[in-house]
Amino acid sequence: MLEPVFNHGSVVLGTGGCGMYWHLIVSGPHRGHVWFICGEGAMPFAAQFGHTTGESGFAGWVKHWSAGNEWFDAE
């Protein structure tokens, strides 16, 4: 059921390789959040959702990336 996400309401920011993609959600209730999407599922990026210490939203995702942090670095 990931097909609608790939074609509607998001912008692809980049790939993690092997069918893994980072999407900026541009419509709906998750607008402004970045999601990690792959064939196995999807999850939002931000400390509030777990798995990382990064800040929420596009700016938080870019800040985390530009600092060279691991994507999944939650303690």
Please tell me the predicted confidence (pLDDT) of residue 23: 93
Instruction: Say which DSSP state 53 is in.
Output: -
Q: What is the pLDDT along the chain (75 residues), one digit of tens a residue?
A: 556 656 678 999 998 888 899 999 999 898 999 999 888 888 999 999 988 999 999 999 999 999 999 888 765
Please tell me the predicted confidence (pLDDT) of residue 1: 53
Kind plus residue range of the DSSP H or E element containing 12: strand 10-17
Please tell me the predicted confidence (pLDDT) of residue 3: 63
pTM, entire model: 0.83
Q: How far apart are the first and last CA of the chain?
A: 31
